[in-house]
Amino acid sequence: MIPSSYPSKEEIARLTARMLLEIGAVNFRPEEPYILASGLPSATYIDCRKLISFPRIRSTLMDFLTVTVMRNAGFEAFDNIAGGETAGIPFAALVAERMALPMTYVRKKPKGYGRNARIEGAMTEGQRVLLVEDLTTDGGSKLSFVDAIRETGASCGHTAVIFYYGIFPETEKTLGDHGVDLHYLCTWWDVLAEARAMGAFSEETLTEVKAFLKAPRAWQEARKTQR
């Protein structure tokens, strides 16, 4: 069912941050940084995959994501909802259900046998496709999914995520240069504000996390040399 309530963008961001904190999806560890897939250290780590195990929160956030996309892109803007392998798949299915649209998913690479497909499900030429993922950092990983969708003859000019890092200035330009608009519920800045309001972490930790968020590349470079 398509949601009928429309909280403000600011309230959606605050509540999303609160829910992520409540289920323990937010991790701050500046004193012993997490190592990202890139090999770089990070004071923060977020696990949006945990959301699938919390039905009330999961349902609320999917309502939020659906109304955000419709408000920003239009009520009749899409014909197909595609999830990116693997984290985007459950969220794409939930958004597709709410929007009463077909759902597909995009593999990271061809599966190597059979049809050797990257698109699973029915996607046809001319369809307007919304790419749904759990999060985006610098936007780069989305481009391969978008290209795979466009290779079918469909169009993809929008991607929607629950969480957007919001700390790398090149992200929206990277997507924009590829003809893709980004829609999201909250950023690290929203999470930091709500964590402080909730007293979820010590002030010392929050101060160090803020330093990381304000200059992530410099923070990473300094700690990379310390390893």
Q: Which residues are annotated as a binding site for orotate?
A: 137
Q: Which residues are annotated as a binding site for 5-phospho-alpha-D-ribose 1-diphosphate?
A: 107-108, 111, 133-141
Spatial strand order in the sheet of 80-84: 119-120, 103-106, 80-84, 128-136, 155-164, 181-186
Rg of the chain over Cα atoms, rounded to whole angstroms, equals 18
Token pair listed for 10: 């600011």
Token pair listed for 95: 């958004």
Q: Which residues are annotated as a binding site?
A: 107-108, 111, 133-141
Token pair listed for 104: 């597909």
| 155-164 and 181-186 beta bridge pairing | parallel
Instruction: Answer yes or no: are the C-beta atoms of 91 and 63 closer than 8 Å.
Output: no
Q: For the chain, list the strands marked E by DSSP.
A: 26-28, 34-35, 41-42, 44-46, 80-84, 103-106, 119-120, 128-136, 155-164, 181-186
